[in-house]
């Protein structure tokens, strides 16, 4: 995998900033001040923030590693929608190969996935939709009848395994076997609402996990952080009137699925528990840092989640073929630091992250490594 090609624009961008500073010095003026967002970020997360200056995949070797669970498996390759599909089994192969290449895979605690019980799918999705998915898949249809989601005969079953992988991770974190976990599962979930599957998504894995944590483990407040390129319209819709699940999303705007305006803040009991930060194409680490530091952190000081779920989409990385964001691997490391800080401050460190998008195979691999490398840092 040649990640150097993908990293090219980042290097050019970073060198450009340093060059501007040196040019200012040569002209006898002081360098431009450090951006406030960076300064505040380091102040906000203390010593851990200093480590964010290092490439994420180097950080895991510093200090005692956290116990981090990892859910994946060959079962997810059975959701096979053809060799030209963006959302393919090659994505999980790339993630696993990247973690192995960077020496992270051996440090993870393997958690076996399982098939989610239908009662947990029904806690989020309407029975008529679940039945539709089952029938569509069994019929051999190439596409889900509710939207543009490619399927095959095994897709209903594999979607149960995707949600079940998230539940297995939640169980291990709640049992204290691991402190946090990353689930490289598919199909992804954040576009799936209670009654409509769309955008590569069948069942909403993060939403099912949130309801499971509440009903099975008795937790009250759940935070779902979604840094995927796309707005998680399904997750927002499911919890829009529910103040017990806070949904935070950064996403390219305007862009598919055309939801996630800043004015969409929840309704009824859920008023104020949806926080959308739509960002223009071209946004990257500075804009994401500002959103996470200036918007999410203060909101969480008020909401005080009992558990943090991350809809970890890496199509927001620079070079992704489906979008125009420019988040770097170090940027994903810093975002991971922020969600870990929230988990530590409010949720006894409990965090489970679920793969959503990410369609450049080398980009996905290195961004997921940066994310997992940061998860492996000591508590």
Closest distance to Zn ion from the beta carbon of 250 (Å)? 11
* In the complex, residue closest to Zn ion by CB: 357
Residues 339-360 as b/e (b if ≥16 CB within 10 A, e otherwise) read bbbbbbebbebbbbbbbbbbbb
- Of these residues, 79, 125, 190, 191, which one is catalytic? 191
Closer to Zn ion at the Cβ: 76 or 212? 76
Half-sphere exposure of 138 (CA within 13 A, CB side): 6
Per-residue x/- marks for Zn ion, 264-303, CB under 5 A? ----------------------------------------
Q: How far is CA 258 from the centre of its chain?
A: 19
Closest distance to Zn ion from the beta carbon of 88 (Å)? 14
Reference 293, options 47, 43, 54; nearest CA is: 43
Closer to Zn ion at the Cβ: 184 or 376? 184
- Confirm or reject binding of residue 357 to Zn ion (CB under 5 A): yes
Respond yes or no: is residue 191 known to be catalytic.
yes
Q: Are 292 and 336 in contact (CB under 8 A)?
A: no
Judged by CB under 5 A, the chain residues 314 through 343 that form the site for Zn ion are 315
Give whole-number Cα distances, 21 to 14, 290, 331, in Å.
11, 22, 21
Per-residue x/- marks for Zn ion, 174-193, CB under 5 A? --------------------
Closer to Zn ion at the Cβ: 10 or 228? 228
Closer to Zn ion at the Cβ: 304 or 324? 324
Closest distance to Zn ion from the beta carbon of 235 (Å)? 12
Closest distance to Zn ion from the beta carbon of 199 (Å)? 7
CA distance 191 to 212: 19
Percent of the chain that is helix, strand, coil (3-state, to 5)? 45, 10, 40
Q: Are 246 and 303 in contact (CB under 8 A)?
A: yes
Closest distance to Zn ion from the beta carbon of 200 (Å)? 8
**Candidates 113-121, 125-133, 295-303, 352-360; binding stretch for Zn ion (CB under 5 A):** 352-360
CA distance 96 to 94: 6
Q: Are 305 and 347 in contact (CB under 8 A)?
A: yes
**Candidates 109-117, 205-213, 219-227, 351-359; binding stretch for Zn ion (CB under 5 A):** 351-359
Partner residues linked to 150 by β-bridges: 143
Closer to Zn ion at the Cβ: 136 or 320? 320
Closest distance to Zn ion from the beta carbon of 86 (Å)? 10
Judged by CB under 5 A, the chain residues 229 through 248 that form the site for Zn ion are 229-230
Closer to Zn ion at the Cβ: 313 or 373? 313
CA distance 211 to 205: 10
Closest distance to Zn ion from the beta carbon of 92 (Å)? 16
CA distance 361 to 95: 8
Question: What would the two tokens of residue 370 be?
Answer: 């940066």
**Candidates 54-62, 222-230, 303-311, 334-342; binding stretch for Zn ion (CB under 5 A):** 222-230
Member of 228, 237, 242, 330 binding Zn ion (CB under 5 A):
228
Judged by CB under 5 A, the chain residues 299 through 318 that form the site for Zn ion are 313, 315
Closer to Zn ion at the Cβ: 219 or 229? 229
Q: Is 140 exposed, middle or buried (0-12, 13-18, 19+ CB in 10 A)?
A: exposed
Active site residues: 191
Binding site for Zn ion (CB under 5 A): 228-230, 313, 315, 357
């Amino acid at each position: 995998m040649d990640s150097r090609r993908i990293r090219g624009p980042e290097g050019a961008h970073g060198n450009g900033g340093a060059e501007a500073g040196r040019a200012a010095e040569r002209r006898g003026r002081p360098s431009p001040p450090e951006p406030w967002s960076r300064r505040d970020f380091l102040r906000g997360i203390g010593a851990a923030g200093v480590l964010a200056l290092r490439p994420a995949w180097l950080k895991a070797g510093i200090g005692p590693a956290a116990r981090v669970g990892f859910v994946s498996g060959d079962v997810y390759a059975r959701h096979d929608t053809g060799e030209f599909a963006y959302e393919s089994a090659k994505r999980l192969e790339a993630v696993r190969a990247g973690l192995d290449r960077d020496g992270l895979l051996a440090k993870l605690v393997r958690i076996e996935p399982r098939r989610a019980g239908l009662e947990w799918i029904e806690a989020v999705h309407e029975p008529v939709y679940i039945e539709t998915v089952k029938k569509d898949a069994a019929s051999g249809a190439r596409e889900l009848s509710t939207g543009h989601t490619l399927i095959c005969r095994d897709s209903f079953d594999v979607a149960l395994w995707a949600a079940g992988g998230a539940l297995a991770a939640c169980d291990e974190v709640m049992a204290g076997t691991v402190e946090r976990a990353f689930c490289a599962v598919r199909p992804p979930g954040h576009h799936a609402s209670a009654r409509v599957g769309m955008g590569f998504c069948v069942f909403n894995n993060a939403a099912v996990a949130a309801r499971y944590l509440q009903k099975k483990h008795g937790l009250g407040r759940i935070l779902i952080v979604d840094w995927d390129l796309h707005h998680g319209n399904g997750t927002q819709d499911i919890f829009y009137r529910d103040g017990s699940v806070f949904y935070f999303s950064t996403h390219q705007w305007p862009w598919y699925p055309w939801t996630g305006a800043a004015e969409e803040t929840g309704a009824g009991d859920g008023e104020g528990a949806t926080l959308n930060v739509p960002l223009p194409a071209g946004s990257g680490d500075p804009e994401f840092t500002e959103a996470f530091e200036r918007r999410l952190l203060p909101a969480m000081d008020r909401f005080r989640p009992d558990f943090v779920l991350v809809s970890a989409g890496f199509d927001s990385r620079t070079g992704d073929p489906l979008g125009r964001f420019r988040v770097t691997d170090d940027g994903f490391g810093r975002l991971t630091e922020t969600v870990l800080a929230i988990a530590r401050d409010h949720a006894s460190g409990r965090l489970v992250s679920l793969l959503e998008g990410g369609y450049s195979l080398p980009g996905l691999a290195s961004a997921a490594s940066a994310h997992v490398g940061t998860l492996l840092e000591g508590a």
